[in-house]
Amino acid sequence: MSAGIDSTRGQDPPARSRIRIESDTPVPQTGITGPSVNGHRITAPEVVFDSQDVSIFYGAKQALAGVTLRIRSGQITALIGPSGCGKTTFLRSLNRMNDSVPSFRIEGQILYHGHDIYGGNVDQVEVRRRIGMVFQKPNPFPKSIYDNVAWAPRNLGLKSELDDRVEKALRGAALWDEVKDRLKDSALGLSGGQQQRLCIARAIAIEPSVLLLDEPASALDPIATGAIEELMHSLKGRFTIVIVTHNMQQAARVADRTAFFSLEMSGEKPTGALIEFDDTETIFGRPRDPRTRDYVTGRFG
């Protein structure tokens, strides 16, 4: 635990039932080296997101209840579960993409490197600048391939060596070789898989520290999906990655840690909840919770 987790709000345990996941289980050192901070190599990856008893509401409807988990630096964390279980809602609350939903309300706290993401003096544009996001459906801008990638760096004033930055981002997204001769062409002419990799390139061009991926391969064919998964491996370590996926094999292939969400009855209405969060091998090999076991063995969902 190197990040100071000083909760600024008081935390009363809520009355409703919730599942607390013991997130201080030691992280296995399976070759994951943490990022270096101030030149010191640290062995236990730093906590990037510390979600403390987070509940999310849309108007009167509760979408998510009491999620507590910690996401560590440089790892790939997968959020899995049946549809409607609130995993995407949770992901979108990590970079405040839900703010534009008028009736959105959040309880509990999400700390990013110890800073409350929903704190009073937080700038949501800064949040998104540091915590990038790639969406389910590829959404390239109706601009050229080059401009898609160069747009955000230009906004941020990262204009020196822009061409290099664009090339680096496209290489990082394993797209450079396919598009280097047609950077001026419209991005809308790319295939779905290429478009999604362009969106990833666009996101990493401004060097965020976290990448949130919301089912990035669900709209793609198996080959393009394979390319995206390969890409995730290559991005691992440079970025902290949180990925929502429907596809359990995908989670098993790419993720270090996996969180299983499900719909639980809270009173009358089903509400999303975190059931179990552990190393990916544990979740898929010997899950502790019977509901997780049922889901990963395909008995439900």
Nearest-5° angle of CA 14, CA 17, CA 21?
90
- Member of 25, 33, 125, 185 binding other proteins (CB under 8 A): 125
132 binding other proteins? (CB under 8 A): yes
95 forms part of the interface with other proteins (CB under 8 A): yes
Binding status of residue 1 toward other proteins by CB under 8 A = no
Q: Work out whether 42 is an interface residue with other proteins (CB under 8 A).
A: no
CB of 152 to other proteins, least distance (A): 4
Q: Helix, strand or coil for residue 261?
A: strand
What whole-number distance in Å separates Cα of residue 266 and Cα of residue 16? 8
Quick one: which of 51, 47, 24, 49 has its CA closest to 109? 51
Contact status: 113 vs other proteins (CB under 8 A): yes
Other Cβ atoms closer than 10 A to 167: 18
**Residue 139 within binding range of other proteins, rule CB under 8 A:** yes
CB 61 within 8 Å of CB 269: yes
Taking CB under 8 A as the criterion, the residue among 61, 137, 233, 269 binding other proteins is: 137
3-state secondary structure of 68: strand
> With respect to other proteins, which residue has the nearer C-beta, 57 or 141?
141
Per CB under 8 A, does 117 bind other proteins?
yes
Q: Which two tokens stand for residue 99?
A: 């703010």
Pick the closer one to other proteins by CB: 119 or 290: 119
Quote the tokens at residue 187. 């991005």
Distance of alpha carbon 106 from alpha carbon 29, whole angstroms: 34
- Name the residues that contact other proteins, by CB under 8 A: 3, 37, 46, 48, 73, 95, 97, 100, 102, 112-115, 117, 119, 121-123, 125-130, 132-135, 137, 139-143, 151-152, 155-158, 188, 199, 202-203, 206-209
